Structure 1
Amino acid sequence: MRERSLQRWAFETPGIPDSLFVRDEEVPMTKEEVRAMVISKLRLREGQDVLDVGCGTGSVTVEMALVTGYAVGIDENEKAIELTKTNADNFKVNIKLIQGHAPDVMRDLDKFDRIFIGGGSDMLESILEESMMHLKEGGRIVLDAIQLETATRAISIMSTKMDVEVTQITISKGMRTKTGTAMLARNPVFIISGELK
């Protein structure tokens, strides 16, 4: 069995609390409840080759590597690469990081069993096309989006070569007040999953 980071996360379930990650307000992070759904939709197992495109703070990269044993993360932002490395070190997971602009840096990579694409990008079409070319047989892509336009573009592109499933989740988090707990809603998130036909 792989050595797990007992200091940071001693469980087999996804959804590591956000508070356990080193963060920076300038670098995006997939929040824990959304991340748990993303990890579920990726359908991971040990030994798979996995890629996180737009790794941000590395929260998804870390959770992928905890399951598979190894993950590759890409981000063009140097600060994001540094944060992902710090978080991977803290959780004692094996990752490779590539700083560069997707899809350009993807072209020299091998094929993957699973690819996660985080958030929106003005290069969404070319990132998705490159991702679909870098999937092994039976591979899956999972993308999350908060904008309807991003979700509809992703569905349209992925549907040309993949069986697509769309899930929308809305999370509310409790906040203590003087008299009780108020539920604060976060933005709805679309999770688009595709598997090669």
Structure 2
Amino acid sequence: MLFKKNKKKIPEAGEPGMVYSMTPRHGHSHDVYDENNIRQVAGCLPIDPINKRFLLVTTSSNPNVWVIPKGGWEQDETQQQAAMRETWEEAGVKGKITRHIGVFAEKTKAGVKAHHWIYELEIQEVCKKFPEQKKRERRWFTYDEAMLQQRPPYYPSQQQPYYPSQQQPYYPPQQPQYRPQAYYPPPQQQQQRPHPQMHPQPY
């Protein structure tokens, strides 16, 4: 089913301190990295609780690939604010976070590339104009349709949740947010060369 605008006017949504700007943030210079220098990503699964459907968006580079809105968590915002901001910029929806779904490891052949902090967002307003409306398409999906569109790490058969307790604590919204310490790469240890064996010299 193609996207249809919700004509019902709904009050402004968002958690305290949330700002819905028409200028999207770009670049990774202000992104949060953990102590292992792994990038932190935040996003939401936007849900229409009345009609029981999900809103997905296309990637900016491929109009045939449907994903949940997500992006870099930046240093001047909480995880929830980052997830809601990315959902607003990419999908043009406002709402309230209802629960934390999980943290997923985005893996490549070289190792873990990023940790994705994903939340469930109950949609309260769907806007006609939003920052990336000319870069992406958006569409409603049923649960089964949405699962067929998702690629790893979100596709259920290959879903590998990353549990924060293994690396770092997860704090609910009422508690101070996790802020990783500055990352300093470990110093490289110089390999000690073996001493040459001494052989007696002939007289």
Structure showing greater Rg? 2
TM over 0.5: no
Question: Relative to total residues, which structure has the larger helix share, 1 or 2?
Answer: 1
- Looking at both structures, which has the greater relative contact order when contacts are Cα pairs under 8 Å and sequence separation is at least 6? 2
